[in-house]
Amino acid sequence: MFFKKKMQHDYDLDMHNIPGHIAFIMDGNGRWAKKRKMPRTYGHHEGTKTIRTLALEANRLGVKAMTVYAFSTENFKREASEVEYIFKLPKEFFNLYLKELMENNVQIRYIGHLEMAPIETQNIIKEAIQRTSVNSGLILTFAFIYGGRDEIVEATKVICEKYKNGEISLDDMTEDYFEQHLMTKDLPPVDLMVRSSGECRLSNFLPWQLAYAEFIFDETLWPDFDEEHLHRAIAIYQGRERRFGGVLK
């Protein structure tokens, strides 16, 4: 489903049907910058503001978890200078917003291969996780150096090792058991996936977890995505009929 920006609309949200977990593919930073004849990195810089805006609003609405795709395992194919710039953004983001996120009771987490990031980036993210671990509001998870296929392969390896050591039998291998080995094991199920910038693909984001999520593809470029776009996405979600393979009475 496609939507053009920009609207001035009050969406009448059903507060009893707010998605518990929203996953965002934050796409379109480069095109946003290009339109302004600016370097791609400027788009990434502006895109971080959207994370803050949406996290605060999602928290206010009572969303339990929000996961943002910040860097994919495939994004290493980009120019080294762009990759280096993106790896510096967590420092900027948390310097600017950690205090406010703390005040709003937001918890920070990450999924992905943090160990592949520069040590300073690792430390900044770990500190934010540790400092916010006492909070009980929105769980804001950064998928950072994350790849969905990689996550599944890694989980499979751990389980194979357990099988080889005789810790489990084949009958123990259920969907629930497998899920407990994914990086998202402590997060609620994803109800809604929103991708900005009009691209209609997953790009290796949460392939297992999105099996029964609702998808919304919005044409808005990520730095332009704001509270109103979030409200619209939730309103569309609330208009969907989730059947999970069953038949509604």
Residue 194 near which of Mg ion, ligand IPE, none (CB within 5-8 Å, type-dependent)? none
Residues 227-241, buried b or exposed e (16+ Cβ, 10 A)?
ebbbbbbbebbbeee
The catalytic position among 10, 12, 27, 176 is: 27
Tell the smallest beta-carbon distance from residue 80 to ligand IPE (Å). 14
- Position with the least CB separation from Mg ion: 27
Residues 160-219 that bind ligand IPE (CB under 6 A): 197, 199, 201, 203
The residues that touch Mg ion, with contacts defined as CB under 5 A, are: 27
Catalytic residue among 14, 17, 59, 75: 75
Q: Which residues are CB-neighbours of 135 under 8 A, at least 6 positions away?
A: 102, 105, 106, 107
- For residue 151, count other CB atoms closer than 10 A to its CB: 24
Active site residue 75: yes
63 binds, among Mg ion, ligand IPE, none (CB under 5 to 8 A by kind): none
Q: Is 121 in the site for ligand IPE (CB under 6 A)?
A: no
| 3-state SS, one letter per residue, for the chain | CCCCCCCCCCCCCCCCCCCCEEEEECCCHHHHHHHCCCCHHHHHHHHHHHHHHHHHHHHHHCCCEEEEEEEEHHHHHCCHHHHHHHHHHHHHHHHHHHHHHHHCCCEEEEECCHHHCCHHHHHHHHHHHHHHCCCCCCEEEEEEEECHHHHHHHHHHHHHHHHHCCCCCHHHCCHHHHHCCCCCCCCCCCCEEEECCCCCCCCCCCCCCCCCCEEEECCCCHHHCCHHHHHHHHHHHHHCCCCCCCCCC
Residue 27 annotated as catalytic: yes
Q: Which is nearer to ligand IPE, 75 or 238 (CB)?
A: 75
Picked from Mg ion, ligand IPE, none, the partner binding residue 29 (CB below 5 to 8 A depending on kind) is ligand IPE
18 versus 190: smaller Cβ distance to ligand IPE: 190
84 lies in the site for ligand IPE, by CB under 6 A: no
Per rule CB under 6 A, is residue 141 in the interface with ligand IPE?
no
Q: Which of 19, 30, 147, 148 binds ligand IPE (CB under 6 A)?
A: 30
CB of 43 to ligand IPE, least distance (A): 6
Report whether 214 belongs to an annotated binding site: yes
Q: Is 25 in the site for ligand IPE (CB under 6 A)?
A: yes
Residue ranges of the annotated binding site for substrate are: 28-32, 40, 44, 72-74, 76, 78, 195, 201-203
**So which residues are the catalytic ones?**
27, 75
Residue numbers at the binding site for ligand IPE (CB under 6 A): 25-31, 69-72, 75, 86, 197, 199, 201, 203
